[in-house]
C-alpha cells in the first residue's frame, strides 16, 4: 500500500490503438459507464486527471457533451459528487497528446505504465511499480485498454508492464482473468493507493 507517495498520477482509457477479436488494430467507441465509473475511481484514489483517449471526432464530441453536462453548474447542484469525479475527466486525441499534457503540467514526462489480462512478459506488480515511482520521482500515467486490449505498439514502448490480475489457480489452471476495464482500474488503484 502507498505510504507518503507523491500523488502525481494519471489514468488513461485507450480507445485507439487497441486490438479487436481478430487481433487487428482498431478504434473502439467510448462506453458511457467507463466515463462515469472510472472517473469515480480516479477521484477516490487521488489521480490528478483521467484521460479518455479517442482520435474519432464524433466520439470526442459525444464525450465532451457528456462531460459538459456533468461539469456544469446544474449538475454540480444536482449531484456534486458526480460533478467532482467527472471534473477529473478530459478527452484527448491520443496517448502522445496526453503525455504532452502531463509533461506540461508536471514539468517532466510521466512513466508510461500499461495493463493487460494476457501479458506474457511484465516488469512487476504494484509494489514494484511504487518502488520505481519513488526511485524515478516521475508522475505515473496508468493506461488501460478497451476492445481486446492495448495494441502491441503501446505495450512495447511502455516504461512498465504491470503483472496481470489473476484469481486463484484452479486444478487444471485454466483460470479466467478477463475483467471489465472498470474492475481492473479499481483493483489496481486500490492496490497502489488504497488505505489499509
Ligand atoms: N469491453 C470490455 C470491458 O467491458 O471492459 C473491454 C475489455 S478491455 C480489453 C479490458 C482492459 O482492462 C484491458 O485492456 C486491461 O487494461 C484491463 N484488464 C482486464 N482484465 C485484466 C487483468 N486480468 N489484468 C490486468 N488488466 C486487465
Task: Check if the beta carbon of residue 53 is closer than 8 Å to that of residue 16.
Answer: yes
| pTM of structure | 0.93
User: Where does the pLDDT of residue 108 fall: very low under 50, low under 70, confident under 90, or very high at 90 and above?
Assistant: very high
The residues with which 13 forms a beta bridge, in sequence order, are: 52, 144
CA 147–ligand 1 middle distance (angstroms): 8
| Model confidence at 4: pLDDT above 80 | no
For residue 187, the number of C-alpha atoms closer than 13 Å in the C-beta half-sphere is 18
Distance, in Å, from the CA atom of 1 to the CA atom of 144, rounded to the nearest integer, reads: 21
Task: Check if the beta carbon of residue 76 is closer than 8 Å to that of residue 83.
Answer: yes
For the record, the C-alpha cell of 191 comes out as: 492496490
Closest CA to ligand 1's atom 10 = 181
Residues with CB under 6 Å of ligand 1 are 115-117, 144-150, 164-165, 177-181, 184
CA 73–ligand 1 middle distance (angstroms): 34
Amino acid at each position: 500500500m502507498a505510504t507518503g507517495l507523491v500523488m502525481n498520477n494519471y489514468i488513461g482509457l485507450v480507445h485507439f490503438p487497441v486490438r479487436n477479436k481478430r487481433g487487428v488494430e482498431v478504434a473502439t467507441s467510448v462506453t458511457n459507464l467507463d466515463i462515469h465509473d472510472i472517473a469515480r475511481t480516479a477521484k477516490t484514489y487521488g489521480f490528478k486527471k483521467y484521460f479518455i483517449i479517442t482520435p474519432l471526432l464524433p466520439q470526442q464530441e459525444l464525450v465532451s457533451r457528456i462531460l459538459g453536462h456533468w461539469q456544469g453548474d446544474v449538475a454540480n447542484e444536482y449531484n456534486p459528487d458526480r460533478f467532482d469525479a467527472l471534473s477529473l475527466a478530459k478527452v484527448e486525441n491520443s496517448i502522445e497528446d496526453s503525455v504532452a499534457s502531463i509533461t506540461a503540467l508536471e514539468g517532466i514526462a510521466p512513466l508510461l505504465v500499461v495493463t493487460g489480462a494476457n501479458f506474457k512478459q511484465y516488469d512487476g506488480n504494484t509494489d514494484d511499480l511504487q518502488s520505481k515511482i519513488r526511485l524515478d520521482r516521475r508522475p505515473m500515467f496508468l493506461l488501460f485498454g478497451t476492445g481486446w486490449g492495448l495494441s502491441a505498439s503501446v505495450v512495447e514502448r511502455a516504461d512498465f508492464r504491470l503483472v496481470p490480475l489473476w484469481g486463484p489457480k484452479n486444478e487444471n489452471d485454466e483460470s479466467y482473468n478477463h475483467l471489465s476495464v472498470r474492475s481492473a482500474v479499481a483493483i489496481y488503484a486500490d492496490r497502489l493507493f488504497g488505505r489499509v
